[in-house]
Copies of this chain bind each other. A is one copy, B any other.
Amino acid sequence: MLTNVDLAQMEKNNPFAAMKRSELAAQLAMLQRQCIHMNIPALIIIEGWESAGKGYAINDLVRELDTRAFQVHVFERDGEEEEKRSFTWRFWTRIPAKGDFAIFDRSSYYDMMNDLDLNKGEIKKSIARIHDAEKMLYDDGTVILKFFLNITQKTQQERIGELFEDDNRKFLVTKNDTDQNKHYTKYEKHFSNILNLSNFDFAPWHLLSAEDRKAASKYILGTSIRLIQEGVDRHLSKQKTAKTFIRAYNRETTCLQDLKTDLFLEEEAYLKKSKALQQEAQELAYALYTNRVPTILVFEGMDAAGKGGAIKRLTKSMDPRGYTVNPTSAPSDAAKDHHYLWRFYNNFPKCGVMSIFDRSWYGRVLVERVEGFATPAEWERAYGEINAMEQELADFGALILKFFLYIDKDEQYKRFMARQADKPYKLTDEDWRNRDKWDAYVLASNEMIDRTSTAAAPWILVEGNDKPYARIKVLGEFNQRARAILQLAADKS
C-alpha cells in the first residue's frame, strides 16, 4: 500500500487543499454536535511514520470540538500494566462512549508496526484480533476512521533533526524514530503489508501524504467530516427502514432438559469431599498465581439455581487476595453508553489473578434476548463476538470455565417458596416474572450453550436440584481443569 505511491500526486489530489483549517475544524464541531444528539460514537485512528506530524493533525482535529465529548488516547509500547493483559484490552477499555469521539494516537497496531521480526503467522493473528474488535464496534454503530500519515525518508530525517535540537521536544524522539529512518525501506514494506491486511471493508485505511503538515491536517479534517457525515446518514436510514430479521440458526437442543434431576449427595459424603476439594482448590489457586495464569470463571443459571452458594464453596479456602467476585446486574449508565462487552474488560483479571463472574456478558443472549432489550440482530451477532473475545483471552493463556447451574421448574418453585418464608428480601417480583418466561429462558440458554461452548472456553453443565451435588461438581471440575492447564504449562517449560 505504501510502496510505489506518489506523494506529490497524493497532495495534488487533496480535495480539501483550498479550504481553511479553522473552517474545517468548525464544520467537524457542528457534526460532533449532531453525533452527540444522535448518540453516535466515532473512533479516529491516527497511524503513520514517526515524526510524520500525528500530534499536529490531532490538535487540528480537536481544536473546535466540545471538550466534554472527545478523548485523545496515546498508545505506546506496552507498559507494566498492558503486559498483564490480553492483546485488545487497551483498545477495549478506551473505546468511545455513545456520542463521543475517541482519537487514538496509534492504536493496537503499534507493537506490531514496530517489530520487524514478526513472522507472517504472528502478524495475521494480531490482525485477526484487531479485525474482530473493530468489527464489533462497527456493528454496534461506531464510525471508524483510520488514517496513515506517509512521509519520505528524507522528510523524516529532517523532522527528527528539528525535534532533536529543541530542548522541550527532544523527548518526542525515540528509538523508534531513528530505527525507522535508518531502515526506512524495510519498514515501508512492513507497514505496507500490515495496512493491506487490515484494510477492512468496514474500516479501510486512508493513506495520505504528510510532507506538508497543514495539507495533511486538512485532508484528515475533510475526510473525517465526509465519513462521519456518511455514518450519520447510515444511522438515519437505518432508523427509517425497519429491518426484517431472518434467523440463521435452526437447531434446537434440549441439553438442559436432558440433564438428570435426581442426582444427590448425602451430607456426610458432601462434607468429606468438599473439605478435600477445597483444600486442593486452594493449592491450585496458588499454583495458578505462581504460573501467572489469569482465570475467568463464569456462573450462569436459572434464578435460585445456587450460583452464589456454589461460588462461596468454591472459594472457601482460597486466598481472598487472589480472586474477585464480579456480580453482574443491570448495566450502569456508563455501561449502557458503550459496547456491551466494554464493562467486562474493566474486570478481566491480570496475569495470576482469578475473576469470577456471577452472571456475565452472556446476559446479551439471555435476559437481553428474552426481554427484548437487544434486537435479534444484536443478540444473534453476539455469539460470534463472545466466542472471538474468549478465544483471544484463551490465546493469552487464560483458564476460562463457564458453569451453567440448572434446576427444574418444580425445584425453583420450592426454593422460591422457601425464600419467601426465610429471606423475603432475596425474592423480587422480577423473579416471578422471569419464572413466567421459563421456557423462553431455557430455549435461549440451550442455544447459548450450543453455540458458545468451545474448546477454549467450555460450558460445564451442572445438575443443580441437589445443592451439595452441584457444589461438589463445580469444585471437582474446577480442580480437574486447573490441574490440566498447569500440567500443560509444566510440559511446555
B-binding residues in A (CB < 8 A): 33, 55, 58-59, 61-64, 66-68, 71-72, 74, 79-81, 103, 105, 167-171, 283, 286-287, 289-290, 308, 311-312, 316-321, 324-325, 327, 332-334, 356, 358, 425
Contact = CB atoms under 8 A, between A and B. Distances in A.
A355 to B, nearest CB: 12
A170 B291 CA distance: 12
A135 B169 CA distance: 43
Among A64, A286, A289, A321, residue most surrounded by chain B Cβ atoms (within 10 Å): A321
A431 to B, nearest CB: 16
Nearest to A288: B168
A79 B81 CA distance: 10
A324 B316 CA distance: 43
16 contacts: A58-B321, A59-B317, A61-B320, A63-B316, A64-B312, A67-B312, A67-B325, A67-B327, A68-B325, A71-B324, A74-B321, A105-B321, A168-B287, A169-B286, A170-B290, A332-B333
Q: What is the count of identical protomers in the complex?
A: 2
Contact of A68 (B169, B327, B333): B327
A59 B320 contact: yes
A286 B68 CA distance: 23
Given A58-B321, A67-B327, A333-B333, 14 more contacts: A33-B425, A55-B319, A55-B320, A55-B321, A58-B320, A59-B318, A61-B320, A67-B311, A67-B358, A68-B327, A68-B358, A71-B324, A80-B80, A171-B289
A428 to B, nearest CB: 15
Nearest to A67: B325
A168 B291 CA distance: 10
A3 to B, nearest CB: 29
A27 B280 CA distance: 27
Nearest to A68: B327
A260 B284 CA distance: 71
